[in-house]
């Protein structure tokens, strides 16, 4: 939101208020879309529901194309957009841990909060696990994790700059990859559904 301040004359003090409103709206949409249901979320890993991959790719594309367009039109200064420095080793390890937690628990941190807010016991238990992990990391950081946390330093980079590609070309290729991914996962989902339908028929002895 920061890059919009000069144009919209928003006081930086409104940051927390705007963030809270966006968070409430996001949580409502997660619940309304069924993303607080572990079966739907974990379905991407088992092939019976491609909703998650479609939503994540669509969100990434919307932000990517939207920011690029707004910057091109001069409505925002994308160089003021914050993103942290890259440390590729802990990023890969953290991603693997989160992916494993996603498969086992059926939630990501955001969806678990929405699930807990709607009264789902599994969401509450998941959040307890997240908090234990957070505090465990904090209290053992100096002795166990600091060296790993600072390994693989690459600085403040993005993928397009890292591979030496123009932003517009990168967005185009990313869009093509997203469309192909949608098609592949949809076919995988349809194949799984046909197998389950045939299994039901076989179980009934029809």
Global pTM reads 0.72
By CB neighbour count within 10 A (0-12 exposed, 13-18 middle, 19+ buried), where does 86 fall? middle
Residue 75 belongs to a domain: no
**Which pLDDT value is given to residue 2?**
47
| Whether 49 contacts 189, CB under 8 Å | yes
Query: What is the pLDDT at residue 140?
Result: 94
- Each of the 206 residues of the chain gets a pLDDT tens digit; together they read 444 545 455 566 777 787 788 888 888 888 888 888 888 888 888 778 888 888 888 888 898 888 888 888 888 887 777 778 889 999 999 999 888 888 888 888 888 988 898 889 999 999 999 999 999 999 999 888 999 998 999 888 888 888 888 888 988 998 899 889 888 888 888 888 787 766 665 565 55
Q: Please write down the HEC assignment for all residues of 25-43.
A: HHHHHHHHCCCCCHHHHHH
pLDDT of residue 103: 86
What pLDDT was estimated at residue 11? 64
Is 176 within a domain?
no
In the numeric block, which tokens belong to residue 14?
């409104």
Residue 144 lies in a domain: yes
d(CA 3, CA 69): 14
Question: What is the structure's pLDDT at 163?
Answer: 87
> What pLDDT, on the 0 to 100 scale, is given for residue 90?
93
Report the domain count for the chain.
Answer: 1
State which residues form the domain around 88.
84-157
Q: Is residue 120 part of a domain?
A: yes
Helix, strand, or coil (residue 154) = strand
Instruction: Give which of 72, 71, 88 is closest to 80, Cα–Cα.
Output: 71
């Amino acid at each position: 939101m920061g890059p919009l301040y000069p144009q919209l004359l928003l006081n930086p003090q409104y940051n927390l208020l705007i963030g809270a409103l966006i968070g409430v709206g996001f949580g409502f949409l997660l619940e309304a879309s069924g993303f607080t249901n572990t079966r739907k979320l974990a379905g991407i890993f088992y092939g019976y529901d491609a909703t998650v991959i479609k939503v994540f790719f669509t969100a990434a594309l919307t932000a990517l194309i939207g920011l690029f367009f707004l910057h091109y039109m001069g409505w925002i200064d994308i160089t003021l957009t914050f993103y942290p420095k890259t440390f590729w080793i802990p990023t890969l390890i953290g991603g693997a841990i989160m992916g494993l937690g996603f498969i086992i628990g059926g939630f990501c941190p955001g969806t678990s909060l929405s699930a807990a807010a709607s009264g789902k016991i599994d969401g509450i238990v998941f959040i307890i696990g997240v908090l234990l992990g957070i505090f465990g990391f904090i209290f053992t950081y100096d002795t166990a994790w600091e060296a790993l946390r600072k390994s693989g330093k690459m600085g403040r980079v993005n993928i397009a700059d890292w591979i030496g590609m123009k932003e517009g070309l990168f967005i185009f290729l990313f869009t093509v990859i997203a469309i192909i991914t949608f098609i592949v996962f949809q076919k995988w989902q349809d194949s799984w559904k046909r197998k389950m339908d045939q299994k039901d028929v076989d179980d009934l002895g029809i």
